[in-house]
Amino acid sequence: MAELSATQTVVDIEPVTLVAPDGTPTAEDRYSRDLPPETLSWLYEMMVVTRDLDVEFVNLQRQGELALFASCRGQEAAQIGAAACLRKTDWLFPQYREIGAFLLRGITPAQMGAIWRGMWHGGLGFTKKCVAPIAIPIGTHGLHAVGAAMAAQRLGEESVTVAFLGDGATSEGDAHEALNLASVFKAPCVFFVQNNQWAISVPVSHQLAAPSIAHRAVGYGMPGIRVDGNDVLACYAVMAEAAARAREGGGPTLIEAITYRLGPHTTSDDPTRYRSQEEVDYWLARDPLPRYRTYLQSIGVWTDRLEGRVAAKSKRLRTELRDSIVGAPDMDITDMFDTVYAEITPTLAQQREQLLAELAKEA
C-alpha cells in the first residue's frame, strides 16, 4: 500500500508581517526584510507607478474611453511583492486585477489598455513576458497554471508558475481541482490568493467555514501560509520561500495574502451599497503605500530624488497609456475569430461569415 506522506497540519492564523502598518519593523525573525537598497527603491517605484496608472485607467473609463476597468488600488504590495522575487521565465497566471504584476514584468500600459478597451482580447504582449492572458472566468486559470508547471517539470526546466487567485475564486471547483492536482503531482506552482475581503458584493466570510483560506492547504497536503498582503516585504519574502521550494522539487504552496480592495469591484460597481465607510477607513489606515514609504524613510532609503524619479516615471507611463487609448481606432471585429486558433476551424469560419453578412445588412 502506498504510504501517506506527512505534511504540515497547522497553519498560523497570524499573517507574516515584516513592517507594521505604522511603518516600523516587527519582531518577525523567520523572514528577512534586508533587501539591497536598489531593490527596496524599485519595489517602492513599482507600487507608486501601479497606483498612479490605476488612477489613469479609472479616469479613462469615466471619460468613456474604456468600457470597464477593475482597479487594484490597495493591493499593490501583494502583487508587487509576489512578482518581484520571481525569475522573468517564471510564468504568471493572473486573474484580471494584477496591474502591479503586469507593470513589473514590463508589459506596457498600451498593452494593458488594449485589453480593457477590447482592442486585443488575447493579450499577445502578455505572453511574450511569460504572463498568461487575464482570466475573466473565475478560477479557470488555476488549472492552466498547474498544467504549465507540470509541463515545466517534465521538460526538466527550473521554472515555477504562479496562479493569482481571488478569495472568491477559491470557492470555484476549478480552484480545488488545481490545488489538489498540483499537490498530488508536486507541481512547481504557487497559489497566491489575494484575499481582498470581497468577491464583488460577497464578503469573504461567505466563501469558507474554515479558519482561513490558507488552512485549506492542510487538506490538499501542501504548506499554507498567511501573509500581510499590505506589506510588500512580507509578500516578497513569503513568495521567495515558496518559489524556492517549488523550484527544488518541494511542490506547491498556498499563500493567502490578506489585503483590501479599496475601490469598487469594477467601474460598474457601487460598493457603498454593501460595505460601510468604517470598514474602508479601517483599511485606509493600513494602506500599503504610506506604510512602506515610512519604513524606507526610517532606514534612509527614501529620498526626495527617489520620489522625483518615481513621479517622472508615473507621468510618462500615464501619458503613454492615455495616448494609446484616446482616439484609438476600433478593432477589426473579425480578429475575434482569427486569433482563437493558429488556423481557423470550419465552425468559426462559418460564424465569421454569418456575422459579416449580418453587419453588411445593417450598414
Ligand X SMILES: Cc1ncc(C[n+]2csc(CCOP(=O)(O)OP(=O)(O)O)c2C)c(N)n1
Binding region for Mg ion (CB under 5 A): 166-168, 196, 199
User: Which 76-135 residues touch ligand X, going by CB under 6 A?
Assistant: 95, 97
> Which of 113-121, 123-131, 196-204, 283-291 is the region at the interface with ligand X (rule: CB under 6 A)?
196-204
For residues 155-174, which are near ligand X according to CB under 6 A? Answer: 166-169
Give the nearest distance from C-beta 213 to ligand X in angstroms.
10
Q: Which residues contact 317 (CB under 8 A, 6 or more apart)?
A: 49, 52, 53, 103, 109
Q: Which of residues 23-82 bind ligand X (CB under 6 A)?
A: none
**Alpha-carbon dihedral sign for residues 292, 58, 319, 166:** positive
Is position 257 an interface residue for ligand X (rule: CB under 6 A)? no
Q: Which residues contact 103 (CB under 8 A, 6 or more apart)?
A: 46, 49, 50, 53, 112, 317
Per CB under 6 A, does 198 bind ligand X? yes
**30 is a catalytic site residue:** no
| H-helix or E-strand spanning residue 151 | helix 140-155
Closest approach of ligand X to the CB of residue 52, in Å: 20
Q: Is residue 258 a contact residue for ligand X (CB under 6 A)? A: no
CA distances in angstroms from 51 to 4, 66, 224, 358, listed in the order given: 46, 18, 29, 42
For residue 212, which of 79, 42, 13 has the smallest C-alpha distance?
Answer: 13
Closest to ligand X by CB, 241 or 287: 287
What is the spatial distance between Cα 143 and Cα 292, in angstroms, rounded to a whole number?
34
Contact between 127 and 88 (Cβ < 8 Å): no
Residue in this structure with the C-alpha cell 486573474, named with its chain if needed: 95
Report the nearest approach of ligand X to the CB of residue 191 (Å): 12
When the beta carbons of 137 and 300 are compared against ligand X, the nearer one is 137
The answer to whether residue 261 is catalytic is yes
Nearer to Mg ion, 31 or 283 (CB): 283
* 264 is a contact residue toward ligand X (CB under 6 A): no
**Residues of this chain that bind ligand X (CB under 6 A):** 95, 97, 136-138, 166-169, 196, 198-200, 261, 265
Q: Which residues are catalytic?
A: 261, 265, 274
